[in-house]
């Protein structure tokens, strides 16, 4: 009962779901099929998909575009198929073949999702003892069945689109590589983990809950790895520029000289001059010069100490989380 209801819902939603999808007929292989019948089969498959609402890129047009983009032929799996989808701007691709044995023909068609290579539907149709018109009718039936089975499958799956700024970022879905943004994946409904990052940008991880039959979009803005989201950069003030080295040495030498002169003046204080009637009175001048010399020497020593401390390596800029 549940399966019937799902199929009925998918058929009711068919025009709306299919109208937004673009399909490329990538590869139809023919074995023992007359050339005239091959063209009619291609036409019937394409026209049936268009009637069901798809925008179809013909096999000849697809081959020409892929050749210009240097995409190797036969790209129907994994990353190669994703490249096909990006080149042709299509969401889905049809591959298959028709083999003939006498007047009996077997038709096989497969609908693929170009983003991740998911098989959306696959049908087989046999036409026993058929003329050309009956084979064309069988091709039409196969294409219509392919469309309906695709809708039934999609009604039980969810679609996830991942966008990023900047684009071309690496994506992990549930821990597994899923390509580069933008991506479009068909996944099982339920919780999934999306991680987006580049070599120069920090990873952003989001949890998303997908709903069957619906499309969810995850859009992230990546920040450079040097700055974490919610963090502010605190820069320490730069040290004052060093004074010329000769200044502290001149000051130190001057202090020693002045202090020495002052000491000499103190030493001769009270002694007789060349005239016995007079004595040297140099106490005040000597004490002043000793004090001045000592002050200058202390200043030079402090300058040398400050310069030594300022040359120690400063710590790197600190990151503090913004609260």
Give the residue with greater pLDDT, 128 vs 250. Answer: 128
User: Nearest 5°: CA angle at 228, between 225 and 233?
Assistant: 100
Measured over all CA atoms, what is the biggest interatomic distance in the chain, rounded to whole angstroms?
A: 155
Q: Which residue has the tokens 């549940």?
A: 2
Of 21-30, 85-94, 216-225, 251-260, where does mean pLDDT reach its minimum?
A: 251-260
Confirm whether 2-155 and 158-229 share one CATH topology: no
> Which class does domain 2-155 fall in?
alpha beta
Asked whether residue 14 carries a pLDDT value surpassing 50, the answer given is: no
Helix (H) or strand (E) holding 84, with range, is helix 78-88
What is the mean predicted confidence (pLDDT) over 30-59? 93
Query: CA-to-CA distance for 322 and 302, rounded, in angstroms?
Result: 40
* Percent of the chain at pLDDT exceeding 90: 46
Provide φ and ψ at 89, rounded to 5°: 60, 50
Of 59-68, 282-291, 306-315, give the range with the top mean pLDDT.
59-68
Each residue's pLDDT tens digit, 144-163 = 999 999 999 999 999 999 99
Name the superfamily (CATH) of residues 158-229: Carboxypeptidase-like, regulatory domain (2.60.40.1120)
* Percent of the chain at pLDDT exceeding 70: 72
Query: CA-to-CA distance for 305 and 231, rounded, in angstroms?
Result: 37
Query: CA-to-CA distance for 139 and 145, rounded, in angstroms?
Result: 10
Please give the sequence-ordered ranges of beta strands (E in DSSP) within 80-189, or none if there are none.
92-101, 104-113, 119-127, 158-165, 170-173, 176-180, 183-187
Asked whether residue 233 carries a pLDDT value surpassing 50, the answer given is: no
3-state secondary structure of 303: helix
Q: What pLDDT shows up at residue 140?
A: 96
Asked whether residue 19 carries a pLDDT value surpassing 50, the answer given is: no
Asked whether residue 31 carries a pLDDT value surpassing 70, the answer given is: yes
Query: CA-to-CA distance for 85 and 112, rounded, in angstroms?
Result: 10
188 in Cβ contact with 216 (< 8 Å)? no
What does the DSSP assignment read for 236-295?
Answer: PPPPPPPPPHHHHHHHHHHHHHHHHHHHHHHHHTT-B-SSTT-B---HHHHHHHHHHHHH
Q: What pLDDT shows up at residue 184?
A: 86
| Residues whose CB falls within 8 Å of the CB of residue 233, separated by 6 or more in sequence, listed in order | 227, 317, 318, 319
DSSP classification of residue 10: H
3-state secondary structure of 107: strand
Domain spans in the chain, listed from the N-terminal domain onward: 2-155, 158-229, 245-321
Q: What pLDDT shows up at residue 265?
A: 65
Asked whether residue 286 carries a pLDDT value surpassing 90, the answer given is: no
Asked whether residue 307 carries a pLDDT value surpassing 80, the answer given is: no
Mean pLDDT for the chain? 80
Asked whether residue 232 carries a pLDDT value surpassing 60, the answer given is: no
Q: What pLDDT shows up at residue 91?
A: 87
Query: CA-to-CA distance for 173 and 267, rounded, in angstroms?
Result: 92
Identify the CA nearest to 251 among candidates 291, 294, 290.
Answer: 294
Q: What pLDDT shows up at residue 320?
A: 43
Work out the pLDDT band at 94, boundaries 50, 70, 90.
very high
Q: What pLDDT shows up at residue 134?
A: 96
Identify the CA nearest to 162 among candidates 111, 208, 219, 212.
Answer: 219
Q: What pLDDT shows up at residue 15?
A: 40
Q: What pLDDT shows up at residue 313?
A: 54
What is the mean predicted confidence (pLDDT) over 75-79? 78
Overall size of the chain counted in residues = 323
User: Does the CA dihedral 42-44-49-53 come out positive or negative?
Assistant: positive
174 in Cβ contact with 188 (< 8 Å)? no
Give the residue with greater pLDDT, 322 vs 110. Answer: 110
Of 79-93, 138-152, 156-170, where does mean pLDDT reach its minimum?
A: 79-93
DSSP classification of residue 133: H
Work out the pLDDT band at 2, boundaries 50, 70, 90.
very low
């Amino acid at each position: 009962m549940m399966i019937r209801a799902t199929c009925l819902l998918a058929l009711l939603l068919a025009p709306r779901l299919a109208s937004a999808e673009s399909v490329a007929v990538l590869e139809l292989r023919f074995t023992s099929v007359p050339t005239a019948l091959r063209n009619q089969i291609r036409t019937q498959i394409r026209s049936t998909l268009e009637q069901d609402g798809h925008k179809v890129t013909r096999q000849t047009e697809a081959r020409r575009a892929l050749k210009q983009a240097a995409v190797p032929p036969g790209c129907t799996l994994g990353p190669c198929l994703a490249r096909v989808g990006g080149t042709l701007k299509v969401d889905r691709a049809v591959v298959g073949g028709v083999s003939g044995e006498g007047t009996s023909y077997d038709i096989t068609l497969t609908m693929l999702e170009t983003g991740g290579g998911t098989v959306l539907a696959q049908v087989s149709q046999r036409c026993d003892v058929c003329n050309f018109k009956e084979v064309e009718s069988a091709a039409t039936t196969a294409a219509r069945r392919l469309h309906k089975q695709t809708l039934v499958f999609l009604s039980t799956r969810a679609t996830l689109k991942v966008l990023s700024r900047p684009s071309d970022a690496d994506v992990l879905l549930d821990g597994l590589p899923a390509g580069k943004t933008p991506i479009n994946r068909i996944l099982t409904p339920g919780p999934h983990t999306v991680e987006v990052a580049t070599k120069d940008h920090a990873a952003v991880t989001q949890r998303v809950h997908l709903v069957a039959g619906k499309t969810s979009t995850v859009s992230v803005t990546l920040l450079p790895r040097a700055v974490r989201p919610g963090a502010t950069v605190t820069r320490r003030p730069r040290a004052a520029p060093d004074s010329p080295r000769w200044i502290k040495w001149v000051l130190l030498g001057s202090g020693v000289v002045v202090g020495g002169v002052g000491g000499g003046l103190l030493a001769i204080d009270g002694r007789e001059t060349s005239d016995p009637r007079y004595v040297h009175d140099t106490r005040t001048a000597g004490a002043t010069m000793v004090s001045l010399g000592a002050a200058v020497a202390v200043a030079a020593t402090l300058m040398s100490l400050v310069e030594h401390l300022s040359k120690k390596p400063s710590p790197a800029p600190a990151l503090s989380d913004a609260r």
